[in-house]
């Protein structure tokens, strides 16, 4: 068989798993990504809340594939796909392919609101997560000496979206307020600092069961989070968050966790898109493009179990990547390919120290044991042994002391000047 050149756009859970499964196959693989590392996004909230360093959950592609002779990496941004020429255009030039895999994932959806996009903070990349940490720690330093009018804006920390990310973030910041701020700032009263969680639907963790919804809200309110459901944001100017009801919440800190949209690439036929995702068949082939595939959050695959497409979850992306790699090998061997079928392994979210909710098929539970399960499963998914040890050490230290000692504000001079201008 002629040796195929496979180009993978995106090194998230989906793209990474295709590459790893084909590491010894009779093909040449080129992974293209605008980051030089894989990011373990489920723990981004811990970086944003200064519990983990970014390096603990980031894995350079060249280090991951240094022993894989058939895998190469290009640090570049893909600007267009040219299906007729079997090429992609990138910031580093044109790259040809025999088979193309689009695994670009998703980005934050601000629903067309330019003001929100400009002033609210997203959390879909390592850089954005570090920016949140820097911004919040800088605001804490600023609160001490500003006048009362501005202090009100600084004392309201707003998180929009009460899915797993929003719930985990608000719980982490509430614990920081309780356990860390009194020790870091013994001469300032942070008791009036408000952690406000806004959600447009009637519940927190709305995609989970009733018990998890009720339990998560009850616990968040117990640790001091102001939870407001059925509340929709209309606009934000950097100082006042306006709700659809007309109410204004004075704040300089808004984290947007209220939705995602696909990272599409120019050049593909827009008629094959469904809600900013590429329509694919059960073998992940993009409609009307037999040598182009889409997997993970960017793909839209209808199955009897999921007639509206699969949920945009890490487990779906991982399994689609593994299945596609298996089907490549079966196709090359002249064997019948296997249609993708996702088996729901459940969902979970941590809410605070030794508190989590876990929903497995046929078994739902909350509390301390759920937190232990959450912790064990996330440690298993982290790629390297070194990083597993680092993350476990940080968790153990935080559990025993209530502290993390990672509250570093890291800005270069250009960041400082931008911050001064924004202030």
Output b/e per residue, 100-121; b: 16+ Cβ within 10 A: bbbbbbbbbbbeebeebeebbb
Q: What are phi and psi of 316, to 5 degrees?
A: -65, -45
User: How many other C-beta atoms can be found within 10 angstroms of the C-beta atom of residue 322?
Assistant: 17
Nearest to 74, CA basis, from 105, 96, 44, 99: 96
Residue 234's region, left for phi above 0, alpha for psi from -120 to 50, else beta, is alpha
pLDDT score recorded for residue 294: 98
Enter the DSSP assignment of 121.
B
Question: What is the domain partition of the chain in residue ranges?
Answer: 4-34+76-108+261-332, 114-258+353-422
Integer CA distances (angstroms), 240 to 146, 177, 363, in order: 17, 22, 43
Integer CA distances (angstroms), 269 to 101, 236, 264, 289, in order: 16, 34, 11, 10
Which range has the top average pLDDT, 137-141, 251-255, 381-385?
A: 251-255
Structural contact between residues 407 and 398, judged by C-beta atoms closer than 8 angstroms: no
Nearest to 62, CA basis, from 90, 91, 37: 37
What is the per-residue pLDDT across 326-381, written as a single tens digit (0 to 9) for each?
Answer: 999 999 999 999 999 998 888 899 988 788 999 988 888 999 999 999 999 999 98
Q: Is the pLDDT of residue 408 over 90?
A: no
**Residue 235: helix, strand or coil by DSSP?**
strand
pLDDT score recorded for residue 422: 41
Structural contact between residues 198 and 162, judged by C-beta atoms closer than 8 angstroms: yes
User: How many other C-beta atoms can be found within 10 angstroms of the C-beta atom of residue 357?
Assistant: 28
CA pseudo-torsion sign 104, 106, 112, 114 = negative
359 vs 378: CA distance, rounded Å: 15
Enter the DSSP assignment of 383.
S
Of all residues in the chain, the percent with pLDDT exceeding 90 is 78
Residue 284's region, left for phi above 0, alpha for psi from -120 to 50, else beta, is left
Q: Is the pLDDT of residue 170 over 60?
A: yes
Q: Please give the structure tokens belonging to residue 398.
A: 């935080």
Nearest to 46, CA basis, from 304, 375, 278, 380: 375
CATH fold, domain 114-258+353-422, is FAD/NAD(P)-binding domain (3.50.50)
Residue 159's region, left for phi above 0, alpha for psi from -120 to 50, else beta, is beta
30 vs 32: CA distance, rounded Å: 6
Total H helices, total E strands in the chain: 13, 26
Residue with tokens 């609210």, as numbered in its chain: 120
Q: Is the pLDDT of residue 421 over 50?
A: no
Residues ≥6 apart with Cβ < 8 Å to 415: 134
Reported as type and span, the H/E element at residue 327 is: helix 314-332
pLDDT score recorded for residue 419: 43
348 vs 329: CA distance, rounded Å: 33
Of all residues in the chain, the percent with pLDDT exceeding 70 is 97
**Residue 299: helix, strand or coil by DSSP?**
strand
Q: Is the pLDDT of residue 420 over 60?
A: no
Give the model's confidence band at 2: pLDDT under 50 very low, under 70 low, under 90 confident, else very high: confident
78 vs 292: CA distance, rounded Å: 15
Q: Please give the structure tokens belonging to residue 336.
A: 């019948």
Q: Decide if domain 4-34+76-108+261-332 falls under CATH 3.50.50.60.
A: yes
């Amino acid at each position: 068989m002629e040796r195929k050149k496979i180009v993978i756009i995106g090194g998230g859970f989906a793209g990474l798993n295709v590459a790893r499964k084909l590491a010894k196959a009779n093909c040449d693989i080129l992974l293209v990504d605008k980051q030089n590392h894989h990011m373990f996004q489920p723990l981004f909230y811990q970086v944003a809340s200064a519990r983990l360093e970014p390096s603990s959950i980031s894995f350079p592609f060249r280090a991951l594939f240094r022993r894989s002779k058939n895998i190469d990496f290009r640090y570049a941004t893909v600007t267009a796909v040219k299906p007729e020429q079997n090429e992609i255009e990138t910031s580093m030039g044109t790259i040809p392919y025999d088979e193309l895999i689009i695994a670009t994932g998703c980005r934050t959806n601000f629903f067309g609101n330019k003001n929100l996009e400009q002033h609210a903070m997203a959390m879909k990349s390592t850089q954005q997560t570090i920016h949140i940490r820097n911004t919040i720690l800088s605001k804490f330093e600023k609160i001490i000496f500003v006048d009362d009018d501005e202090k009100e804006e600084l004392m309201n920390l707003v998180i929009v979206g009460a899915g797993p990310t929003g719930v985990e973030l608000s719980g982490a910041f509430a614990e920081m307020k309780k356990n860390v701020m009194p020790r870091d700032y013994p001469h300032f009263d942070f008791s009036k600092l408000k952690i406000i969680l806004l959600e447009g639907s009637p519940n927190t963790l709305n995609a989970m069961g009733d018990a998890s919804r009720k339990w998560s809200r009850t616990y968040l309110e117990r640790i001091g989070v102001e939870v407001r459901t059925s509340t929709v944001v209309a606009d934000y100017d950097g100082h006042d968050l306006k709700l659809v009801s007309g109410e204004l919440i004075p704040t300089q800190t808004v984290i947007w966790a209220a939705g995602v949209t696909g990272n599409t690439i120019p050049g593909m036929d827009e008629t094959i898109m469904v809600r900013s995702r590429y329509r694919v068949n059960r073998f992940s082939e993009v409609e009307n493009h037999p040598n182009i595939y889409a997997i993970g959050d960017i793909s839209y695959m209808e199955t009897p179990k999921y007639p509206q497409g699969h949920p945009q979850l890490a487990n779906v992306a991982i399994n689609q990547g593994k299945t596609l790699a298996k089907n490549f090998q079966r196709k090359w061997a002249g064997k019948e390919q296997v249609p993708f079928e996702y088996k729901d392994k459940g969902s979970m979210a941590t809410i605070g120290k030794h508190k989590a909710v876990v929903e497995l098929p046929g078994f739902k539970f909350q509390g301390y044991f759920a937190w232990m399960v959450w912790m064990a499963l996330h440690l298993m998914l982290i790629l390297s042994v070194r990083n597993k040890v680092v993350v476990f050490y940080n968790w153990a230290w935080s559990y025993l002391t209530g502290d993390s000692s990672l509250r570093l504000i890291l800005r270069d001079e250009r960041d400082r000047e931008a911050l001064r201008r924004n202030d």
